[in-house]
A = this chain, B = another copy of it.
Amino acid sequence: MTTLRDLSRHLGLSVTQVSRALNNHADVSADTRERVHRVARELGYQPNVSARRLVTGRSGMLGLVLPGIPAEAENAMFVQIVGTLSQHLARMGRPFVLHIADPAEDVLDAYRRLTASGAIDGFVLLDPEIRDRRVAFLRTADVPFVIHGRIEEPHDYPFYDIDNRGVAERLTGLLTAAGHRRIAFLNGPKRRTYAVSRLHGYRAALARAGVAEEAGLHRFGPMTEGEGLLAGVALWGEGGPRPTAVVCGNSRLAAGLLRAFDALGLRVPRDVSVVVHDDELPGVRPQAFDPPLTATWSPLALGWPHLAQILAAAVDGAALPALQVQGEVGLVERASVRSVS
């Protein structure tokens, strides 16, 4: 292994100056800098991360901690996340540590160990919750992180997110504009912040249209095909409130819902109008449904590179506004909404 001292001997310079040259500090002549870089390349010099970390307090490693091996249904998403993060971080020369915790232990212990030992100096946080314990811990430990999504205000932390409130407001607004007044909303899990934001958006759209919110039409729940099916039967089956339109939180819910409609003999959009938010989940596309569904549209896949870039910038000490990215949301109108004037 070539060290700084090796380089300094080769060049007839002090170790100090070689270090400063390699790190592009100001007080080294252009000529020297060039020579140092060249010789470093020739000798295949790689700075020793441990030594660097020891003095700077940073290892350059970034990490993702998951509470356990993902469930079968999440496989494709897991590969997308982990693959994209690792690949992007690799391009920036930053090793990516994937820590899959023992389901039996508290994830916080994993964060504690990884940060205290100095192994990792920044984390990507997925699936943030309302009062997220990980965020609380990393904040007190003063360890950089980036959240996929947001937590409660104030938003004084790095994140990548979309405008979830706006998404729900837009989708609901499409339905009120078409004259619907009894609109169901199949939302995500109650603990998840985006679901709460979307609820606000749903309510805002209803209020704007002068529609009173009807109890039972908004449902928190897991965003799975099974849940969509159950919700469909509960809302449109025997004794259900039978709303005339519905907003689906994602396309898995929509898929389940359409199967319920099929069983109940309901047709879209004749009997029920359906709109959906499309994350471009692998394997379920709203345009492939029958009928194709009107949808807001923002691929989750677009977020991962941002997370990598933001986190890298965060550990390098970048300031806040640059570390907050809000993804674009598109809208595609298809044939799943009927006007009821």
Contact = CB atoms under 8 A, between A and B. Distances in A.
Contacts of A78: 75, 79
Q: In the A-B complex, list the 7 residue pairs whose CB atoms are closest, starting with the nearest.
A: A69-B83, A46-B116, A86-B100, A50-B53, A50-B50, A46-B117, A98-B98
22 contacts: A1-B116, A44-B112, A44-B116, A48-B117, A50-B50, A50-B54, A61-B97, A61-B119, A69-B87, A70-B83, A72-B76, A75-B75, A79-B79, A82-B82, A82-B100, A86-B98, A87-B102, A90-B101, A93-B113, A95-B114, A95-B119, A96-B99
Q: Give the number of times this chain occurs in the complex, counting copies.
A: 2
**A50, A61, A90: which has the most chain B beta carbons within 10 Å?**
A50
Given A50-B59, A78-B79, A96 B95 contact: no
Interface in A32-89: 44, 46-51, 53-54, 59, 61, 63, 68-70, 72, 75-76, 78-80, 82-84, 86-87
A318 to B, nearest CB: 23
Contact of A83 (B1, B48, B61, B100): B100
A91 interface: yes
A118 interface: yes
Nearest to A98: B98
Contacts of A275: none
A233 interface: no
Given A76-B72, A78-B79, A96-B99, A47 B117 contact: yes
Residue in A80, A83, A98, A114 whose Cβ sees the most chain B Cβ within 10 Å: A98
B114 A87 contact: no
Given A49-B118, A82-B82, A90-B102, 16 more contacts: A44-B112, A49-B59, A49-B119, A50-B50, A50-B118, A70-B83, A72-B76, A72-B282, A82-B98, A87-B100, A91-B102, A95-B97, A95-B119, A96-B97, A96-B100, A97-B98
Contacts of A86: 98-100
A125 interface: no
B118 A48 contact: yes
A199 to B, nearest CB: 32
Contacts of A116: 1, 44, 46
